[in-house]
Structure 1
């Protein structure tokens, strides 16, 4: 604006002075408006508020608002309707849409209605501040231009200045379409000097594919309201030394009208050519394209998302029906992905997902589609399959590719995938059915040990339906709480011929399926997260029963309860257990918490801390099924446990003629003694097993040789009338 100082202003013209900037905030929530007011406050700014659309329309009608901060979701009038009204009424206010409506369509419509910017409410507040600053700077320039136009309306020098300083291309064509004037902006946007264009036809700067469309705007003869406005046309640049060189085009909106020489008689007007303005909207178009891309793609991997995948799958099914072809759908889940997130963090997990996507795409054909469903789940569309086995070939290729390790946090990480496959028309004829059946097949392969692929079979669906039914039944059973029952299996000291404790085992009296063992519903409770509620029920019922037996004199019994890994993830576990112990007046040492051995290896640091908290509360902690998970002796040394239970698989294999199992149990017994741990063998079923265990210095046992798990009443009878009574039997009245 330094050039303005060279102009000789007439004294009658108003002086240029700094005027306040008026900002109007339109939002139906008062606290939001108040937050915006404080956020945007500044010197020289007058900030007003409106809580409804109608109130905003009345205020905007004064035509003195510089910036409108507009929420689209208003109680009476939609924000887009306000923008439409402003467009028709020619209200010269810049609009910044700042909305909680994160729909892609709303963003695109707002930009097309002339919004300067679309900002989401849940984004960075600095983005709103910067946008308003840009708008005000632009308004300031526009205001200065307007003041200059009023002062020097008759000045050719000012006219030239404004034209040359315009951010838009301003041009004039003769009646044949050749340039007779163009401002200097054309060089910044297209790379042409005005001398190169003068006398040349407008087609020189129009992208060839848009020539037919451009002909009507560049040859416009109409004037006034009927003239061409906002016609979108691509213009091509001269060279690559200017903006947008990557595609050598810009996108512009063109407004034009005819130029006439007026004689004394209106009917004798003579057409002389066309004048017009071309505004660069390339950045806005890119923003719209980005919004559209984000609506149909996963931002992390760049893959199609589930919306685009289903659309492509629907198209592929229609084509397959016409061509009598097969279509394959694969549902892929990365095995042990949660371990990466928990161990190395979400950043490394994201890197694994991106590397997995890249390597998986290399296994597919050019016409196949790999999409991300969410989390660590992906889907693959295989159109035009000649044979169902073609999908198996691709799945096997993916498994082979994944045998190469991924680099995670600088170390090699080996991962596998579980792949379910469904085929059209064999396994379904709609996108929903194929995705569902491929998902079912994927979970089947997970249940079989993961790291493989499996085709869908109808019997899988019946199993899945039964699982869903059982899930609902389990949820209802937890709400009522009267379908479960605890059984107790004695733990005995053979040398003392007495019962020293018992393990609480849950049973489910299903209304249709009868008595169900834990193996049939505990995995389901783990998968659905109901295991925490089920665990709380077990702890409360078992402690209530133990309190009853202690009141009858059985005060030396040790109660063992299994806890799920999910229960140990809860930071308030020690407090919750202590609350129940206090409620039933039971000492903490009477409760033995059994955890699985794999907790030694998975997230060891966190679990060591939790076990320490449990021990500090006075509780006993045991490792169940010891010897089956290849425990690290270093972790065993660090875990503050009280005892270990030898897994029944080792006990079952005990044989006088078989040295291996005897050696394993002997080694476990030595480990226990070296760490000063109690040792107990489970699954003892024969006298021969009992004798061998006694010979290996393992005195504490449980198993069918002594008793099966018993209901509470029967277990009390075992304590008083069995071969292994409780130590304080003589105290029973």
Structure 2
């Protein structure tokens, strides 16, 4: 064997697979050394590499280590004929091209060689051009066969991959013929629909489609010319091979992509359809859940505010076309906070669900019940012929709620307040009707709850005034619109001022003076009373400190506190800190509370009142006798003063003596409490009070509530106050009635 001869460049071979760079290794097997040397020269081409050997055995050893594009094989060799090598190539599945070069004249030799797989047979003697053509043809044929094999392998690999993807796809993949019948189904059909492939083959695709969707798919399959582009996508429900408990067939929702199979490029006639159906049931269920949550209350599953407004607007539009009437009810659960605070929010939720169920059972089929949030519900009553229809339903609502509702902690009797607004009488929009029903409901709340009421335009005016008052009240402190007036408490017998009551006044920039009876309750409801009480305390302390710096000795200062102030845990500390900040003695101040404070949170209130008394601050019960007066509370609470309400003093006009005042004065003496009578406006009232043993009085008879400058004048020259009083009523006549 000689060293291979290799040429420096490679030719371009044009084959079935395209133009590819090729390098050909050629093995020369001949026992004539001169021929072995000649062949590489006469057959030389760029990229051809030649190996040579002289026997069949050497050729086999070369083939065991190398692959050749072509073998030039002599027929007669020292150890065997070339047919032996051809047999070896067949036995070892080799694909080398072989050209037999032989000097045999017998035709049998050529036939035997060609039968054993030789590609060509060149008989000696031969012309060089003949050999060159044979070699070029064999190499070209080999290149084509190799390219063809590669292409075939790629096609088979692609087919295997495509089949694997189709067979393993999580989607249902199928083909239909021109009549819409299945011609192929992948195995996914069994898991997705429960059908065996064999049972569906040649069956119409439409048999799997639910009746409601069948018309759409029939139109798409029967009119392929109307398909958008080359494919279409549609959502369908397909029947499953399983029944629901009610006997109806189960179904799934799929997104179907169909690609028409046409006869040829220019012919749009459809001969079949390639389809991919993806199960989107879970996505559709998720969308339905999201949509439900967007328009329904998650606790009661009732429509929420958004859906209620949408339905109300639709009902209004329909009523306008028919000149009809509808009603909106606003329902609020009374005392709902009590359940939450007492039993917890879980019990409150259970109560709301129970109330929602009762309301739903009460309403008509076409009515809409919605939960706006918290304990508020709204009802749409379409197609009512007269207001009395809404009234009937409102009474049914109250009756349905009245039976006790069983909770895990016990039974609870709920009540509701119902406001009703009518279209078109009370408004022409959804927002206006809902707001007016709310205004009517709020009036029911203020009037005692557990009732219904129709909207009245006067209610809306008062409601707007109330909202305006709330807004102005929030800005009153910032704008410095509050001021304190002071009214003296006079001892008739001692002929001196024994106390001052600080009275809050609001000078509204537009409405003028506003009575505390008008705005204090509003301040309590909107949560401003704490700030206002703190301002009153600060101003009163600052005024007493200012009088002291001016050398004026102020008597005891009385300050009113709201029941809401005693809900604050730091109320006592805030009072004492204010006194310390202005360097005032606690004995100079008295805190006035109402009887209702004693009835709420008795233990907490008692502790705070004891702290006040322990610090040296007096405690007075204002308007005593008008609320929940009880001797037990007087024994429990550290009270120092009782104030007789002006309503009792007013009844002292004339010769009759009010027995309630007589009882109050007796209580004060029995408990050794100070006594102050409010609202004294006439001499007859003052004489009657003195006859009953009351010495300290407060009212217009002595002085009206006045600004700090007037109070300063009284304190500096109290004689002026009494001189003015004696010009109208001789004090001796009053003081002489003392016991």
Same fold (TM over 0.5): yes
* SS of residue in 2 equivalent to 1:209: helix
Cα 1:207–1:269 shift into 2, 3 Å: closer
**Alpha carbons 1:595, 1:622 under 8 Å: kept:** yes
Structure 1 residue aligned with 2:311: 312
**2:303 matched to 1:338?**
no
5+ residue gaps in structure 1?
Answer: 1-149, 726-733
**Alpha carbons 1:623, 1:645 under 8 Å: kept:** yes
Structure 2 residue aligned with 1:507: 505
Structure 2 residue aligned with 1:444: 443
Within 5 Å, give how 1:115-130 maps onto structure 2.
Answer: none
Partners of 1:410 and 1:636 in 2: CA distance: 35
| Aligned residue among 188, 191, 214 for 1:188 | 191
Structure 2 residue aligned with 1:231: 234
**Alpha carbons 1:171, 1:179 under 8 Å: kept:** yes
Structure 1 residue aligned with 2:429: 430
**Alpha carbons 1:220, 1:274 under 8 Å: kept:** no
User: What is the CA distance between 1:541 and its match in structure 2?
Assistant: 1.5
Cα 1:622–1:327 shift into 2, 3 Å: same
Structure 2 residue aligned with 1:545: 543
User: What is the CA distance between 1:205 and its match in structure 2?
Assistant: 1.8
Q: Deviations over 1:413-472 (max 9, x none)?
A: 344333222222222222233223223323333333333222222333333343344444
Structure 2 residue aligned with 1:87: none
* SS of residue in 2 equivalent to 1:442: helix
Cα 1:364–1:337 shift into 2, 3 Å: same
Cα 1:267–1:409 shift into 2, 3 Å: closer
User: What is the CA distance between 1:174 and its match in structure 2?
Assistant: 3.3
**Alpha carbons 1:171, 1:275 under 8 Å: kept:** yes
**2:250 matched to 1:248?**
yes
**2:517 matched to 1:519?**
yes
Cα 1:649–1:345 shift into 2, 3 Å: farther
Structure 2 residue aligned with 1:273: 272
**Alpha carbons 2:665, 2:675 under 8 Å: kept:** no
Structure 2 residue aligned with 1:171: 174
Q: Deviations over 1:686-717 (max 9, x none)?
A: 78877888898887665556655343344445
5+ residue gaps in structure 2?
Answer: 1-152, 725-739
Cα 1:544–1:259 shift into 2, 3 Å: same
Within 5 Å, give how 1:563-602 maps onto structure 2.
Answer: 563-570=561-568, 573-602=571-600
**Alpha carbons 2:502, 2:559 under 8 Å: kept:** yes
Structure 2 residue aligned with 1:709: 705
Partners of 1:323 and 1:419 in 2: CA distance: 27
Q: Deviations over 1:347-401 (max 9, x none)?
A: 3333333222222233322222222233333222221121122222222222233
Structure 1 residue aligned with 2:401: 402
Cα 1:698–1:175 shift into 2, 3 Å: farther
Cα 1:298–1:160 shift into 2, 3 Å: same
**Alpha carbons 1:601, 1:631 under 8 Å: kept:** no
Structure 2 residue aligned with 1:100: none
Partners of 2:624 and 2:191 in 1: CA distance: 76
* SS of residue in 1 equivalent to 2:426: coil
**2:390 matched to 1:391?**
yes
* SS of residue in 1 equivalent to 2:157: coil
**2:361 matched to 1:358?**
no
Partners of 1:660 and 1:411 in 2: CA distance: 45
Partners of 2:297 and 2:547 in 1: CA distance: 59
**Alpha carbons 1:221, 1:259 under 8 Å: kept:** no
Structure 2 residue aligned with 1:43: none
**2:300 matched to 1:301?**
yes
User: What is the CA distance between 1:254 and its match in structure 2?
Assistant: 1.2
Higher Cα Rg, which structure: 2
* SS of residue in 2 equivalent to 1:479: coil
Cα 1:246–1:699 shift into 2, 3 Å: farther
User: What is the CA distance between 1:526 and its match in structure 2?
Assistant: 2.9
Cα 1:515–1:274 shift into 2, 3 Å: closer
Partners of 1:523 and 1:241 in 2: CA distance: 62
Two-structure CA RMSD over aligned residues (Å): 4.5
User: What is the CA distance between 1:317 and its match in structure 2?
Assistant: 1.8
User: What is the CA distance between 1:253 and its match in structure 2?
Assistant: 0.7
Partners of 1:328 and 1:268 in 2: CA distance: 64
* SS of residue in 2 equivalent to 1:502: strand
**Alpha carbons 1:600, 1:636 under 8 Å: kept:** no
* SS of residue in 2 equivalent to 1:426: coil
Cα 1:549–1:351 shift into 2, 3 Å: farther
**Alpha carbons 1:487, 1:710 under 8 Å: kept:** yes
Cα 1:421–1:667 shift into 2, 3 Å: farther
Structure 2 residue aligned with 1:489: 487
**Alpha carbons 2:646, 2:678 under 8 Å: kept:** yes
**2:200 matched to 1:197?**
yes
**Alpha carbons 1:493, 1:699 under 8 Å: kept:** yes
Structure 1 residue aligned with 2:136: none
**Alpha carbons 1:230, 1:255 under 8 Å: kept:** yes
How many aligned positions are there?
568
Cα 1:368–1:665 shift into 2, 3 Å: farther
Within 5 Å, give how 1:525-540 maps onto structure 2.
Answer: 525-540=523-538
